[in-house]
Amino acid sequence: MNIFEIAEKFDVSLRTLRRLEKGGVLRCKPRDPILDALQYSLAKGNALSVAQLAALIDNPDWLLDLGRYAGAAEIQLEGVGKPREEAAPRSVTLHLEDAARGDPAAAAKIGTWIVGMLPEHPVNYAYVGSRLFYGVPETQRKSAIGRIGKAVTAAKRHAPLIDCWRMIGRANNQRTEFFKPKPLDL
C-alpha cells in the first residue's frame, strides 16, 4: 500500500501519515514521486500543472494507479485535448526564453501564435501551456517548463493577446481562461 491508499482506507490524514513516514515509523511501498505529486494535487482539488498533465499524457497507465482521483484527472486531460498533435512550432518556442525575460517582441510573437491556435470555445492555461511544452524539443523540456508560464504571462500583457483572456474564480482560486477575439461589427 502507498501513503494515499492508507489515508483513504483508514481515514487518517495525509499530514499525519507523512509525519509518521518521515519519523521512520511508517514504511510504504515506494512509488514514482511524480505519480505521488499527481495524486496529492488531485486529492487537494487542485488543477494539475502542465508538467503533471504531460506526465499523464506520456504515461496513460498511471490513470489506473490514481484510484478514485482518476476521474478528475481524465476530465483535466480532456480539457487539454491533443497537445502532441497541435504542438507549437519551433519558430514560436524559440522565443520562450526572451518572452520570459520580458522582451515585448518575443511576447507578441507568442501571443500571436496563441490567438491563432485558440479554438472557438474558451480554454484554460493548461491547454495553451501544454502545446508550448510539446513544441519544445524533448531534451529541453525540463528547463523550459518554468519559462512557459512566464512567457505566457508576458504575452498576456501585449497585443494581440491582451483582449483574449480573463481571470475567473475567487481570489484564492483564480485561473486564466483564453478565448478567441470576437470580430468587430462594422
For residue 83, whether the previous peptide bond is cis, meaning omega lies within 30 degrees of 0, is: no
Q: Is 164 helix (H, G, I), strand (E, B) or coil?
A: coil
**Per DSSP, what are the bridge partners of residue 124?**
177
Band (118; pLDDT cuts 50, 70, 90): very high
Q: What does pTM read for this prediction?
A: 0.82
Of residues 3 and 79, more confidence is placed in: 79
- Cell 523540456 sits on residue: 141
**179 backbone dihedrals φ, ψ, rounded to 5°:** -150, 155
pLDDT for res 184: 64
Of residues 91 and 32, more confidence is placed in: 91
Band (79; pLDDT cuts 50, 70, 90): very high
Report the mean per-residue pLDDT for the chain. Answer: 90
Say how far residue 146 (Cα) sits from the centre of its chain. Answer: 11
